[in-house]
Structure formats: C-alpha cells, structure tokens
Copies of this chain bind each other. A is one copy, B any other.
Amino acid sequence: MAATIKDVAKMANVAPSTVSRVIANSSRISEKTKERVREAMNELGYHPNFNARSLANKSTKTIGIIMPNSAKIAFQNPFFPEVIRGISMKAYQEGYGLYLSTGQTEDEILQEVKNMVYGGRVDGILLLYSRINDKIMPFLIEEGFPFVLIGRPYKIDEDRVTFVNNDNFKAAKTVTEYLLLLGHERIGFIGGHLDYVVTIDHMKGYEQALTNVNIPIREEFIVHHEEVKEGGQNAIIELMSLVNRPTALVVSDDIMTFGVLRMLADMGVQVPHDMSIVSFNNVMISELSSPPMSTVDIHIYDLGFEATDCLINKIHHPTSGERKIIIPHRFIKRQTCNKQEERV
C-alpha cells in the first residue's frame, strides 16, 4: 500500500541501502544522488515505517511513562498533567514519542512495564512517583533498563538510580517554621498515603521544625488520606473534632487544600482568621482558591522536563553515572496564613 524504501530505490535507480542512507543523511552519499532520492521520496509520498526501523535499529525513539494506578488516582491530581507537560516538551524537542501506562493495579502496571522492556516498546522509562515497597523500580534496576525517577528512592538504591526531586523535607520544614514564627503552636499535618516518599519527607520536615523548638509531636494532629479530594475534607473533620484544635495546618497537596478550604467554609471556620494553611505544589488552579492559598511552588513542569533530559541522556550514554537533580522550590505567600494572637 504505502510506498516503501524499495519503491523509492527503484524510482531513483539506486539500491535500497542507498535510500536508507539518504534517510539517515549519511555523509557517504553524494549530494547528487541524495537529491535524486529525495525527489523520488516526495514523488511517492514516502514515509519510513516505524516498526521496521525500530526492529532493525533496536531503538524506538519513545519513552514510557509510568503513573501510579493511572486512571483512579493519578489523573485526579493536576500534578500529573503538569509533569507530563514538561516531559512532552522535552520529548518533542528531542524527537521522542510518549507511551502511557494504562494499568490500574500495581501488578498490572508491572506487567505493562515488563512488556515495554522485554518487548522493546520503549527506549527508556519515566517513573512519575516514588513509593516504598514498590516493585517497578527494583525490576528496572535489576534489568539495567534506562529509567529516571521523579521523586527520590527510599533509602536503598540511592546510588543506583537517577532521580529528579524537590527538597521536600526542607520545604516542609520551612513552611512549618513560618507558621511557628507567626505564633502558631498547635499545627496539624494533612498528608497523602505514607507509602509515598514525598509524604514521608513532608512529615519529617514538619516534625523536625516542631522538634527544633521543643514542641512535642502530637499524633492526633497528623492525619493521612490517599484520596486528594475527599481526603482533605475527611481530614478536617477529624482535626476539628479534637478538643484542642490546631490553629494552623500543613497540607501535603493543593487539591487536598481545596477540600480543606471547602469543608472549613461549610463549618464557618474563617481562613486565615481562625485557621492558617500552607500547602504544596502550586498547581495551575491553586491561585484560584478562596482565599488564594499560600503554597510551595515545586516547579512541576521542570521536574518533568529535567527528568526527560536525564532519561534521554541515559539512553544515549548508558554507562554514564547516575545523577541526582534537585529542582528548587519557592514558597508563594498568598492569603491563607495569619499571625496567631495569644488567646488561651
């Protein structure tokens, strides 16, 4: 049906191998024949067959993107589209395509990854999340397959994986200190599932800030929920039911904060007057909350962009060492934090 390299060769009166070399723009072919071949290609509307090329080349020029149980959780949070934006931009620049994981459970995803790797469907993989006891990363390490993690590996394997991350510990410590300096002493923490390394880092930063000023860590002030939307709302119910409520909150994710703000408004609790809040991510919509939320911009787009850069590097230079990149964060002060007055 479609024109092949043979058709072009015939029309240009050369061998198929020559056509192939013209496509690759080999310097060993004369300008004259290049011209002739190119004309034939245009004439026939020739386009190289991707699968044939991949098979012969053992290179697909495509990157696999692995999200945590894709449909259910991941795409509910604007973090993922935004990180994919960054990935997409860099991938396009470098002529790489994007292949998306679709599995729901971890086992399904692992199976997909195996198919990608063994089947030669992608040249490298981007892991968009970091979870403890995850099976995907160990598999990739074991296989020596090029991949880059967005986030950081938990404890072990630190030196065996390239990753792009924020300093989430420090960011959480800083915003907690900020609340402390505003006079808050009863500060709660709302985070995602403790399986996620980012949650752990946020929590540790929060705890460290409290410990540094000798404020004991109160278990009941720390709540975790997996679902970002309902999670924020449920967390608030728990926290506001305490006899001794917190006056300020560190929330691990902006979408959770939307839930928190919504629920607080329903309860008639004024933010920031009655409750101060700092959050993380600064996704596109964060500035549109009511009131606009103070949050840590983690430069999600850059995470994706840099990770893709690293990955493509690894694909091209498999033996180059592992890299650890920290994308700087920036605290964006908006209107969800207040000085806490002394009022017994």
Contact = CB atoms under 8 A, between A and B. Distances in A.
Interface stretch (A87-95, A154-162, A317-325): A87-95
Nearest to A121: B50
B49 A51 contact: no
Given A118-B2, A121-B50, A285-B229, A92 B102 contact: yes
In this complex, the interface size class of chain A, counting residues with CB under 8 Å from chain B, is 35 or more
Interface stretch (A9-17, A28-36, A76-84): A76-84
Contact of A84 (B49, B75, B104, B229): B75
Given A82-B75, A229-B284, A261-B290, A47 B115 contact: yes
Interface string A36-56: 000000000101111110110
A97 interface: yes
A67 B311 CA distance: 24
A245 interface: no
A234 interface: no
A108 interface: yes
A99 interface: yes
Contacts of A258: 285, 288
A112 to B, nearest CB: 8
A80 B100 CA distance: 14
Interface in A95-118: 96-100, 102-104, 108, 114-115, 118
A260 to B, nearest CB: 9
Copies of this chain: 2
Interface string A45-77: 101111110110000101000000011000110
A287 B84 CA distance: 25
A259 interface: yes
User: Which of A92, A99, A255, A259 counts the most chain B CB atoms within 10 A?
Assistant: A92
Contacts of A290: 261-262, 265, 289-290
Contacts of A62: 99
Contacts of A268: none
A52 to B, nearest CB: 5
A88 B70 contact: yes
A9 to B, nearest CB: 18
A170 interface: no
Contacts of A262: 287-290, 292
Interface in A102-145: 102-104, 108, 114-115, 118-121
A33 B256 CA distance: 56
A85 B92 contact: no
A75 B81 contact: yes
A100 B100 contact: yes
A104 B92 contact: yes
A274 B114 CA distance: 57
A60 B99 CA distance: 12
Contacts of A120: 2, 49-51
15 contacts: A2-B118, A49-B120, A50-B120, A51-B51, A51-B54, A52-B55, A75-B81, A84-B100, A92-B104, A98-B99, A258-B285, A262-B288, A262-B290, A265-B290, A290-B290
